[in-house]
């Protein structure tokens, strides 16, 4: 029976009461305040002293020793499965998709060192990193070497590379382990090396090989590589199609669970219900932002219609804390894909849409928070 080792951690937030009702942070200022309450002194010291380019190695999942390897809050917030949609959506709206954990860690480090953060400077730094990453994307899916490390082109090429890494005694030991035992022993060690250095997270010709098979999660890719290598050493059938089907069924069930979760959350959004705004699209003024950070500016609405298929709600605004209203759309940071040129570009013009009291508009339900 194959063991799938996937990081699937729920963030437990019942012991903190930072923003009045155990609310998850929605922007960088709230994030660093939250982490200051949540993080131990030893982890804080590591974040302050480690080089800023190595921050990702200060906490889970890349830190190797306790207590740093056990601090999972930032990972949980940016996880595809159990993330904090408020902060990830905020970063995506700013144009940051690939460096979200790094942004949070860098912000927290700046806060610990200076007692405050320069949000504009932080965002600009990682928006620039995002642009550089997109430039690298043009070649990383075809090149055979990234950062000086050879990238296998397919599963058989992976076997050749692993054979070159390990001596005969190591191969004999691996061969004599049971498959599940081998996977369990190397997933967080050699498996992590594979995921990081063969660029299964960042993208490479090997990740594209697996994408073309219908496998998209790096943990699944390394799982298939390791299970297949063990079978290769034991001269048994790799059963690649069976392995692919196993992971596809897992994610299919996960999507069903995600759909069910949304349905259960959406039940709370009933017609006539009063909600509080999450400000995912930003603020109409600095004053409004400051008031919100201090928990004294809460925009409110009443639900007037529901779209259960797309999990949308139509609301009537009853309070905005600013005569300019609230922002419900801002295309800053959005990228437009042209299928003809196969290139991404910025919108030709920035568009910001606001809504004021007594007006109605459709929203994603996550833009609003129910009042218990």
90 and 70 within one domain? yes
337 and 355 within one domain? yes
Asked whether residue 10 is domain-assigned, the answer is no
Distances (CA, A) of 308 to 240, 271, 315, 361, 362: 39, 12, 14, 16, 12
Asked whether residue 7 is domain-assigned, the answer is no
Instruction: With H, G, I as helix, E, B as strand and everything else as coil, classify residue 257.
Output: helix
Asked whether residue 263 is domain-assigned, the answer is no
Residue 50 CA to residue 63 CA, distance in Å, equals 12
Asked whether residue 83 is domain-assigned, the answer is yes
Centroid of chain to Cα 66: 23
The last residue of one of the domains, among 254, 279, 298, is: 254
29-47 burial string, b = 16+ CB within 10 Å, else e? bbbbbbbeebbeeebbebb
125 and 106 within one domain? yes
32 and 124 within one domain? yes
Reading the block at residue 242, the tokens are 């069976």
273 and 360 within one domain? yes
Distances (CA, A) of 63 to 51, 194, 199, 267: 14, 16, 18, 40
pLDDT value for 342? 53
Reading the block at residue 329, the tokens are 């759309």
DSSP β-bridge partners for residue 336: 345
- Cβ–Cβ under 8 Å, residues 365 and 313: yes
The last residue of one of the domains, among 74, 102, 136, is: 136
Asked whether residue 149 is domain-assigned, the answer is yes
Quick one: which of 154, 169, 165 has its CA closest to 238?
A: 154
Centroid of chain to Cα 345: 22
Crossing angle between the packed helical segments 218-233 and 179-186, to the nearest 10 degrees: 130
pLDDT value for 85? 74
Instruction: With H, G, I as helix, E, B as strand and everything else as coil, classify residue 181.
Output: helix
88 and 110 within one domain? yes
How many domains does one find in the chain? 3
The last residue of one of the domains, among 108, 136, 164, is: 136
302 and 349 within one domain? yes
321 and 340 within one domain? yes
The number of residues making up the chain comes to 372
Asked whether residue 13 is domain-assigned, the answer is no
39 and 105 within one domain? yes
Residue 203 CA to residue 23 CA, distance in Å, equals 34
199 and 149 within one domain? yes
365 and 288 within one domain? yes
- Cβ–Cβ under 8 Å, residues 283 and 336: no
Give the structural domain span for 70. 28-136
Asked whether residue 250 is domain-assigned, the answer is yes
Asked whether residue 125 is domain-assigned, the answer is yes
From first to last of the 372 residues of the chain, give the pLDDT tens digit: 344 333 333 333 333 334 433 468 888 999 999 999 999 999 999 999 988 888 888 888 888 788 888 898 898 888 765 567 788 888 888 888 878 899 999 999 999 999 999 988 999 988 888 887 777 777 888 899 988 899 999 999 999 999 999 999 999 999 999 999 998 888 888 999 999 999 998 889 999 999 999 999 999 999 999 999 999 999 999 999 999 999 999 888 888 888 898 999 999 999 999 999 988 888 899 888 888 888 787 899 999 999 999 999 999 999 988 889 999 998 876 777 666 655 566 777 888 999 999 999 999 998 999 886
Residue 298 CA to residue 336 CA, distance in Å, equals 32
């Amino acid at each position: 029976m194959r063991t799938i080792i996937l990081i699937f951690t729920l963030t437990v937030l019942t012991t903190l009461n930072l923003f009045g009702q155990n609310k998850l942070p929605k922007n960088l200022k709230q994030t660093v305040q939250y982490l200051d309450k949540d993080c131990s002194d030893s982890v804080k010291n590591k974040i302050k002293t480690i080089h800023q380019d190595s921050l990702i190695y200060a906490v889970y999942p890349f830190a190797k020793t306790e207590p740093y390897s056990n601090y999972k809050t930032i990972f949980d917030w940016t996880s595809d499965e159990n993330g904090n949609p408020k902060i990830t959506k905020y970063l995506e709206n700013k144009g940051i998709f690939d460096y979200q954990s790094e942004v949070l860690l860098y912000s927290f480090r700046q806060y610990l060192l200076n007692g405050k953060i320069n949000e504009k400077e932080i965002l600009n730094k990682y928006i620039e990193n995002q642009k550089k990453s997109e430039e690298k994307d043009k070649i990383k899916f075809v090149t055979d070497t990234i950062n000086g490390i050879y990238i296998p082109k397919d599963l058989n090429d992976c076997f050749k590379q692993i054979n070159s890494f390990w001596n005969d005694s190591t191969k004999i030991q691996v061969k004599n382990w049971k498959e599940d035992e081998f996977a369990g022993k190397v997933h967080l060690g050699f498996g992590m090396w594979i995921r990081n250095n063969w660029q299964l997270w960042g993208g490479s010709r090997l990740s594209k090989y697996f994408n073309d098979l219908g496998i998209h999660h790096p943990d699944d890719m390394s799982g298939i590589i390791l299970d297949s290598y063990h079978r290769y050493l034991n001269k048994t059938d790799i059963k690649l199609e069976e392995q692919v089907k196993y992971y596809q069924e897992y994610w299919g069930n996960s999507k069903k669970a995600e759909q069910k979760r949304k349905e259960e959350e959406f039940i709370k959004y009933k017609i006539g219900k009063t909600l509080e705004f999450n400000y995912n699209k930003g603020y109409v003024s600095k004053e409004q932002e400051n008031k919100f950070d201090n928990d004294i500016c809460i925009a409110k609405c009443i639900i007037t219609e529901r779209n259960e298929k797309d999990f949308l709600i139509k609301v009537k605004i009853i309070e905005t804390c600013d005569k300019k209203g609230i922002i419900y759309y801002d295309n800053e940071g959005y990228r437009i894909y042209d299928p003809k040129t196969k290139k991404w570009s910025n919108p030709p013009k920035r568009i910001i849409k606001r809504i004021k009291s007594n007006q109605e508009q459709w929203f994603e339900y996550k833009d609003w928070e129910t009042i218990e």
